Amino acid sequence: MQIRVHRATTADIPAAAQTLAVAFEQYPWTRWSIPDEGYADRLEALQRIYLEHALACGLVLVAGDADGVLALMPPEAPAPTDEAQTRIAALLGERLPLLLAAELPRTPTGAWELATLGVHPSSWGRGIGGALLAHALREVGQAGPVPVALETSDPRNVTLYSRHGFVVAATTTITEGPVVYSMVRPGTDAAS
């Protein structure tokens, strides 16, 4: 089955945010970091903010009709705007201090950051996540080998990322929270 992957436009963002919200509904990190009250709405609103930022500063890819979504941020990407950060803080509510206190390894210098990769549950098992990841790695590697880093709190994701050359660089247990796997793909280019 051929999976159509395209660069997102502003018009793709609402459906992409919905896909990510459904994909991350039971994800350990979001379950820990987002308040239970209004969880689904908060999660979708956060995904939309992050996707808008990634669209402005990085690379957002969509598979099919938003069956899957991936966002990559370049090294030295700017932080979200003050307005976006205010909205993020409001959505995270009482969980914000815990999130800020979580100590995770820094992204390696010069690495692109895989900010998110999610596939709608109705499309799981069709190779969409792998297709998005392969497409993204080719795009960022066109100018030569570059490292790509990510974090995941679902051990099943480690297998997918390992198939694409990522290795676990650190494992962090968040107090009263999830285990986070920091992974790095040392260098990728268009031929990978």
> pLDDT digit string (tens) for 129-144?
999 999 999 998 887 7
- Does the model's pTM come out above 0.85? yes
Half-sphere exposure of 140 (CA within 13 A, CB side): 29
Closest to 179 in 3D by CA, of 168, 165, 187, 190: 168
Helices (DSSP H) in 93-127: which residue ranges? 96-101
pLDDT of residue 144: 75
Could you tell me what percent of the chain has a pLDDT over 90?
Answer: 85
Specify whether the CB–CB gap between 81 and 52 falls below 8 A. Answer: no
Q: What's the token pair of residue 114? A: 């895989």
> Would you say residue 191 has pLDDT above 50?
no
Region of 141 on the Ramachandran plot (φ > 0 left; ψ -120 to 50 alpha; else beta): alpha
Bridge partners of residue 63, in order along the sequence = 5, 68
Going from the C-alpha of 174 to that of each of 43, 96, 102, 104, 179, the distances in angstroms are 20, 14, 6, 9, 6
